[in-house]
Structure 1
Amino acid sequence: MREYKLVVLGSGGVGKSALTVQFVQGIFVEKYDPTIEDSYRKQVEIDSQQCVLEILDTAGTEQFTAMRDLYMKNGQGFLLVYSINQQSTLNDLIDLREQILRVKDVDDFPLVLVGNKCDLEDERSVGREQAQRLANEWKCSCMETSAKAKINVNEVLPIGFGWDAASLQFLTAVNKSFRRFSLGVLDSGLCYLAAAKV
């Protein structure tokens, strides 16, 4: 059975673990407990083929940056997560992406820019347009999520709930960068990292 590795990166406290646990287990983890490294495995069906998806939830604190090179080298797809109510967390992703480029020594790789905590609209400090401009510059998809309210969790993380080739029809409904990313992922043999809303 084929295995695919997705790496979730971002500053501490942006909700990487909450997003991952919500996708894998369907529950919201309220208490913040800084992660060193958590790995989740989920068997999914893509194009009528069973595969194992490994989601690596990484540390967001500076003391664990030395471990990131290994994650980045082995990762086949990346979610770069920021919090919509904390501008500095978006700024931090610029350096993280540069590090991925350096470690992988490639110009392009499957990536989604994820603005988490979109349920905190009243506290927003990162505008949707600002994030979209960055995503356009990086030629990747951009999406807002809420692990707490379960908004776009299944859309931004790899979808594997019995979808088959017919699910490609959904991809035509999404914007150009989203479609480019999704098809690029399929061409490389990686499970979907993004898809239209269900």
Structure 2
Amino acid sequence: GGVGKSALTIQLIQNHFVEEYDPTIEDSYRKQVVIDGETCLLDILDTAGQEEYRDQYMRTGEGFLCVFAVNNSIKRVKDADEVPMVLVGNKVDLPTRTVEQRQGKHVAEVYHIPYVETSAKTRQGVDDAFYTLVREIRKYKEKKGKDRKKRKMVGKGGKLSCRLL
């Protein structure tokens, strides 16, 4: 906890930074956005990142932002290979870093996932993190559709389910 998952979500949804708030148990948000010319409804579940609920979230979410604070360390990233995910280094506005950008990028490369740095406080990279995840979900669905030989139009007005871990 305390890495800024809720702050990132509130910045995306409401365009402001919340200095202090109660720790999240679980909150859900919806926002309609246009990404790469296609409209989609983001259905965002903001979790507290508790280990005991992780398997449940992994079954129900279409994609995940795995958020860590750059002034802390990266503990665990990804268990499943076939899950759209983006590694997000948050709190880049802080003066000190424990995890350098190159380290975050390296971890993301190991897991073959994108890496985005953000600051919920300044809004830097917030849209990029969520939009990158939507693109990853679309790529995954397209690949899955091709694998099944059922090529459908993916993402047109579709609802995408995102989870913050």
Q: TM-score when scaled to structure 2?
A: 0.77
| Uncovered stretches (5+) of structure 2, i.e. residues with no partner | 144-153
1:110-125 correspondence to structure 2 within 5 Å: 110-120=84-94, 122-125=95-98
Residue 8 of structure 1 aligns with which residue? none
Decide which of 72, 81, 84 is 2:67's aligned counterpart: 81
Q: CA RMSD in A?
A: 2.6
Is 1:13–1:32's contact at 8 Å kept on the other side of the alignment?
Answer: no
User: Structure 1: how far apart are the matches of 2:114 and 2:62?
Assistant: 16
Is 1:18–1:29's contact at 8 Å kept on the other side of the alignment?
Answer: yes
Decide which of 24, 41, 65 is 2:13's aligned counterpart: 24
Q: Deviations over 1:138-160 (max 9, x none)?
A: 0010111000011011111138x
Decide which of 27, 32, 53 is 1:43's aligned counterpart: 32
How many pairs were matched up? 146
Please state which structure has a larger fraction of its residues in helix: 1
- Give the share of equivalent positions with the same residue, in percent: 47
Residue 196 of structure 1 aligns with which residue? none
| Uncovered stretches (5+) of structure 1, i.e. residues with no partner | 1-11, 102-106, 160-177, 194-198
Is 2:68–2:90's contact at 8 Å kept on the other side of the alignment?
Answer: yes
Residue 187 of structure 1 aligns with which residue? 142
Q: TM-score when scaled to structure 1?
A: 0.65
Higher relative contact order (CA 8 A, sep 6+): 2
**Displacement, 1:136?**
0.6
Structure 1 stretches (4+) deviating beyond 3 angstroms? 45-51, 180-183, 188-191
Is 1:84–1:115's contact at 8 Å kept on the other side of the alignment?
Answer: yes
Q: Secondary structure at the match of 1:158?
A: helix
Is 2:28–2:46's contact at 8 Å kept on the other side of the alignment?
Answer: yes
Residue 71 of structure 1 aligns with which residue? 57
Q: Cα distance 1:16–1:126, how it changes in 2: closer, same or farther (>3 A)?
A: same
